[in-house]
Chains A and B, each alone.
Chain A
Amino acid sequence: MRSFDQSQSQPNKQAVLITGATSGIGLALAQTLAEQGYVVIVNSRTEEDCLAIAQSIGGFALPFDVTDETALKVAFKTLNGYLRDNTLTLYGLAHCAGSMVTQPFHFTNATALQQMLNEHVAGAFLLSQWSSKLMMREQQGAITLLSSVVAQQGSVGQVAYASAKAAIEGMTKSLAKELGQYGIRVNAVAPGVIDTPLIAELSDEQRSAIQKSTVLKRLGQPQDIAQVLAFLLSDQSAFMTGQVLSVDGGLRLP
């Protein structure tokens, strides 16, 4: 198990799998970790996007749909071969993929709810299961999941999304308790409103209102979240696990 010793870090031998790595927070994290020397495994549903980002940052493209269990299984077998052939270890997982359903409660059907649960909850569950199995080989690793400010605060029109994100927080703490004995840390970040394609449909008035409601008077940028995720994946947070960090510009302060 790792101690707090930066000299043990060998990012160029450590791979980090990032889902949703071709846009928004996932892309910002992929660029950040690549700059730090990690080998980034770039995932998204679209092969073309994956290849383009992987090429631009010098990573490995691993396209698959996180809601497709069969595809996920095949992808991890491919990943295992890539790690073996390049003498790498899987050190980190960051599950950043996922969409956001915003609809009034009575306009949200069961299909929309299931979509949220599949992308965020089942996706995180299966990714953590397969990733942690690879991490156990070295008895070390770090998993980061994405919650949201709405997991604890709730939000009108986001019952399905908030339900899924709340589940992520319970998952984070339970995984941390179960995987700690294998040297694997599990943490989550709960972003506030971040300027990503997820909020592209907001009007200027809505964006302005959100900005005013934060203490820092601005929307978050993907890099704001990526920096915290990178910290949670690194040895700098070697004694942190089971935590959900709010990164929201003070949005939830009373």
Chain B
Amino acid sequence: MTNNERLVTAFASSLNIDASQVVDELEYNTIPQWDSVAHMVLVAALEKEFDVMLDMDDIIEMSSVKIAKEILAKHDVAF
């Protein structure tokens, strides 16, 4: 499984949405499923999946799928 596929799976299961909805343009708080509660479930899932510890600034900044990839890239996860 590629890192992108792992990320899509983590997003889809955490937000309880279809994998097809997980595109770079998907943004925080633009769908009911990606609210502040689900955001932390997502953070925990990404941390576990990629074995990273995100800083609080990362969590606040992670406002889209695209930015999530950029943040994970800072933690040496290549996409």
Judge whether B44 and A137 touch: CB under 8 Å: yes
Q: Does any Cβ of A come within 8 Å of B67's Cβ?
A: no
Q: Does any Cβ of A come within 8 Å of B48's Cβ?
A: yes
Q: Does any Cβ of A come within 8 Å of B5's Cβ?
A: no
Judge whether B40 and A136 touch: CB under 8 Å: yes
Judge whether A182 and B40 touch: CB under 8 Å: yes
Judge whether B47 and A133 touch: CB under 8 Å: yes
Choose among B40, B41, B45, B53 the residue that contacts A77 (Cβ–Cβ < 8 A).
B53
Judge whether B55 and A73 touch: CB under 8 Å: yes
Q: Which residue of A lies closest to B40 (CB)?
A: A136
Quote the shortest CB–CB distance from A68 to chain B (angstroms).
Answer: 15
Q: Which residue of A lies closest to B59 (CB)?
A: A133
Interface flags for A169-211 (1: CB within 8 Å of B; 0: not) read 0000000000001100000000000000000000000000000
Chain A residues with CB below 8 A from B55, complex form: 73
Judge whether A76 and B53 touch: CB under 8 Å: yes
Chain B residues with CB below 8 A from A73, complex form: 53, 55
Chain A residues with CB below 8 A from B41, complex form: 136, 182
Q: Does any Cβ of A come within 8 Å of B31's Cβ?
A: no
Q: Does any Cβ of B come within 8 Å of A129's Cβ?
A: yes
Judge whether B48 and A137 touch: CB under 8 Å: yes
Distance A137 CA – B48 CA, assembled complex (angstroms): 7
Judge whether B43 and A133 touch: CB under 8 Å: yes
Chain A residues with CB below 8 A from B45, complex form: 137
Chain A residues with CB below 8 A from B40, complex form: 133, 136, 182
Distance A77 CA – B75 CA, assembled complex (angstroms): 12
By DSSP majority rule, is chain B's interface helix, strand, loop, or mixed?
Answer: helix
Q: Does any Cβ of A come within 8 Å of B51's Cβ?
A: yes
Quote the shortest CB–CB distance from B54 to chain A (angstroms).
Answer: 8
Judge whether B44 and A136 touch: CB under 8 Å: yes
Judge whether B53 and A80 touch: CB under 8 Å: yes
Q: Does any Cβ of A come within 8 Å of B56's Cβ?
A: yes
Distance A77 CA – B55 CA, assembled complex (angstroms): 10
Q: Which residue of B lies closest to A74 (CB)?
A: B53
Q: Does any Cβ of B come within 8 Å of A106's Cβ?
A: no
Judge whether A133 and B51 touch: CB under 8 Å: no
Query: Quick one: which of A8-31 are within 8 Å of B by CB?
Result: none
Q: Which residue of A lies closest to B41 (CB)?
A: A136
Given A77-B53, A80-B51, check contact A133 B37 (CB 8 Å): no
Quote the shortest CB–CB distance from A178 to chain B (angstroms).
Answer: 9
Query: Quick one: which of B36-67 are within 8 Å of A by CB?
Result: 37, 40-41, 43-45, 47-48, 51, 53-56
B contact residues vs A (CB 8 Å cutoff)? 37, 40-41, 43-45, 47-48, 51, 53-56
Q: List 7 A-B contacts (CB under 8 A).
A: A77-B53, A84-B51, A136-B40, A136-B41, A136-B43, A137-B45, A182-B41
Apart from A80-B53, A133-B54, A137-B45: 12 A-B pairs, beta carbons within 8 A: A73-B55, A76-B53, A80-B51, A129-B56, A133-B40, A133-B44, A133-B47, A133-B53, A136-B44, A137-B47, A182-B40, A182-B41
